[in-house]
Amino acid sequence: MKKSIISCCVALSLLASTSANADLQPKKLLKSVENKVIKWRRDFHQNPELGNRETRTAKIVAKHLKSLGMKVETNIAYTGVVGILKGSKPGPTVMLRADMDALPVTEKVDLPFKSTKTTTYRGVDVGVMHACGHDTHVAMLMGTAEVLAGMKKELRGTVMFVFQPAEEGAPQGEEGGAELMLKEGIFKRYKPEVAFGLHITSGLPSGAIGYRSGPAMASSDRFEISVHGKQTHGSTPWNGVDPISAAAQIVSGVNHIVSRQINITKEPAIVSFGKIAGGVRNNIIPEQVDMVGTIRNFDMDNRQQIFEKIKTTATNIAASSGAKADVEIFEGYPVTVNNPQLTEKMLPSLAKAAGKDNLIEMPKITGAEDFSFYALEVPGLFVFLGGTPRDKDFRTAPSNHSPYFFADESSFKVGTSALTQLTLDYMEQAK
């Protein structure tokens, strides 16, 4: 009996030691990449590239992944890079994604690695800046790749590293982003079981992680309405058909769709006009008025209803005044939905990375993300990493897309840890 107890104690001691060593290894590797992540990020920040043109960024990423012994595929959806890390043990394929593109924004943050790059965007000379933090996403995922490659012998499955172009939208006349990467077959080739993504935000304190189960970010769609009338002198409107008057009624009618025709107790929705253009002078009723706007919502069924009701409302109102309305809906990004079961399952992993007190359940966000396309294919979880220094008020910090957007470098280790922990824990739980 005594011998059995001793043997049991020895076994438990060895088990505890093995567990401690297992926990220690990723921590040690994470520590070793901290400065590299910061260095990479500063380089990308100083050398930003717009969507579908991220050639320099992609080259650096591909070279790094190849140096880690991965199978690397390049030139997907123009500049996308996919790295495949196969662990030594069988298990699921886990996808991790970072977006690479910058924005046509002139940076106004005084940094030693400030972007001074300029380009011509839609005929206008503009600055180029990583005003949404995609530079940090790329650097953190490169760090995660190095950590997980260092644990290849312990990995229970395969990691699919996706470095994606054009999350902010492709150049006019081109396809791009997550939708094009899927169209070009990355999921068919590598068959991930689950997808994880992370986005830095100034809307949380540095190192905090924000999450939300279910619909988390809105769909984003654009509509265009052209109202055709009959041009006449402003003093004799009865001799023509006034598209300006019809357009004004259409604006009012469309604004009543969400408030009166959509069940917003199910999920909220927004329809906003952003531009109305028509006419050239005060005493001429023009022939045409053009309007453009955006649609945001959190339910895919409501989304289709809104599309149809905008068409019906605009065409009928125009017809009632003798005008004609042409309506086009341009579908953008779907609703970003975090799989509820996956979210609940992975919260302990996020707590390990950030600390339980730094996990924040977030409200719905009316901004959009094309990670949503991946989450339509496999269960997905998309979380937010706080990037505003703790001595600043994140509630008043310049937002993402601002020329004053700033990301605190101390948060990067939490982001890298989160991506690493999500991967390891998912693989461990799937065995």
- Final residue before a domain boundary, out of 272, 299, 332: 332
CA distance 40 to 20: 31
- The CA-CA-CA angle for residues 383, 384, 385, to 5°, reads 130
Are 274 and 359 within one domain? no
Alpha helices, DSSP H, located in 228-339: 243-261, 300-320
pTM of the prediction? 0.92
Give yes or no: residues 314 and 373 share one domain: no
54 and 165 in contact (C-beta within 8 Å)? yes
Please answer whether residues 144 and 80 qualify as being in contact, where contact means their C-beta atoms are separated by less than 8 angstroms: no
In a domain, 253, yes or no: yes
Which of 295, 317, 332 is the C-terminal boundary of a domain? 332
Phi (first) and psi of residue 405, to 5 degrees: -60, 135
pLDDT tens figures, 286-312: 999 999 999 999 999 999 999 999 999
Q: Among 184-188, 240-244, 264-268, where is mean pLDDT lowest?
A: 264-268
Q: What is the pLDDT of residue 22?
A: 55
Pair 83, 198: CB distance under 8 Å? no
Reduced to 3 states (helix: H, G, I; strand: E, B; else coil), residue 295 is strand
pLDDT digits 0-9 by tens, 91-109: 999 999 999 999 999 999 9
Domain annotation covers residue 246: yes
Catalytic residue among 78, 333, 374, 426: 333
| Annotation says 409 is catalytic | yes
The number of beta carbons lying within 10 Å of the beta carbon of residue 183 is 12
If we measure between CA atoms, which residue out of 113, 89, 117, 91 comes closest to residue 103?
117
Q: Which residues are registered as beta bridge partners of 425?
A: none
Residues 175 and 128 in one domain: yes
What DSSP state is assigned to residue 237? G
- E-state strands within 137-193: 156-164
Say if residue 189 is in the same domain as residue 235. Answer: no
Instruction: Note whether 183 and 82 are same-domain residues.
Output: yes
pLDDT of 392 above 80: yes
Residue 2 lies in a domain: no
**pLDDT exceeds 90 at position 65:** yes
Which residue in this structure is represented by tokens 């309305």? 325
pLDDT digits (tens, 9 = 90+) for 130-166: 999 999 999 999 999 999 999 999 999 999 999 999 9
Answer yes or no: do 295 and 356 share one domain: no
Taking residue 255's Cβ as centre, other Cβ atoms within 10 Å add up to 15
Look up residue 408 and give its DSSP letter. Answer: -
Phi, psi dihedrals of residue 410, rounded to the nearest 5°: -70, -15
Residue 1 lies in a domain: no
Whether 108 maps to a domain, the answer reads: yes
* Across 310-325, average pLDDT: 98
Q: How far is CA 134 from CA 139, 213, 237, in A?
A: 9, 23, 53
Structure tokens belonging to residue 412:
């990067």
Element (H or E) spanning 294, and its range? strand 288-297
**Count: domains in the chain:** 2
What is the structure's pLDDT at 122?
A: 84
Q: In what order do the strands lie in the sheet with 269-277?
A: 269-277, 288-297, 219-228, 324-333
- Mean pLDDT (the chain) is 94
CA angle 286, 292, 297 (to 5 degrees): 150
105 and 210 belong to one structural domain: yes
Provide the pLDDT for residue 430: 87
As a whole number of angstroms, the distance between CA 419 and CA 97 comes to 10
| Residue 374 belongs to some domain of the structure | yes
Write out the two tokens for 229: 């009338």
What pLDDT shows up at residue 431? 75
pLDDT at 245 over 50: yes
Residues of the chain with pLDDT > 90, as a percent, come to 92
CATH number for the domain harbouring residue 65: 3.40.630.10
Same domain, 205 and 243: no
For CA atoms 253, 254, 260, 261, the dihedral sign is positive
DSSP 180-222: HHHHTTHHHHH--SEEEEEEEEEEEETT-EEE-SEEEE-EEEE
Last residue of a domain, one of 277, 305, 332: 332
**Calpha distance 41→44 (Å, rounded):** 5
How does residue 23 score in pLDDT terms, banded at 50, 70 and 90?
low
Nearest C-alpha neighbor of 136 from the set 368, 408, 417, 421: 408
Main-chain dihedrals φ then ψ at residue 304, nearest 5 degrees: -65, -35
Do both 276 and 379 map to the same domain? Answer: no
Q: Clarify whether residues 59 and 201 are in a common domain.
A: yes
Residue 171 in this model has a pLDDT that exceeds 90 = yes
Q: Which of 107, 146, 267, 409 is catalytic?
A: 409
Counting DSSP H helices and E strands in the chain, the numbers are 10, 18
Do 380 and 212 form a contact (C-beta atoms < 8 A)?
Answer: no
Q: Hey, what amino acid is at 406?
A: F
* Known catalytic membership, residue 121: no
Q: Check which CATH number belongs to the domain holding 300 and give it.
A: 3.30.70.360
Residue type, 171: P
Give the structural domain span for 267.
219-332
Indicate whether 317 and 361 sit together in one domain.
no
Q: Are residues 271 and 359 in the same domain?
A: no
Q: Strands 232-233, 269-277: parallel, antiparallel or unpaired by DSSP?
A: unpaired
With respect to residue 199, please indicate whether it lies within any of the assigned structural domains.
yes
Q: Residue 8: pLDDT above 80?
A: no
DSSP type of residue 289: E
Alpha helices in 272-411 (DSSP H): 300-320, 340-354, 371-377
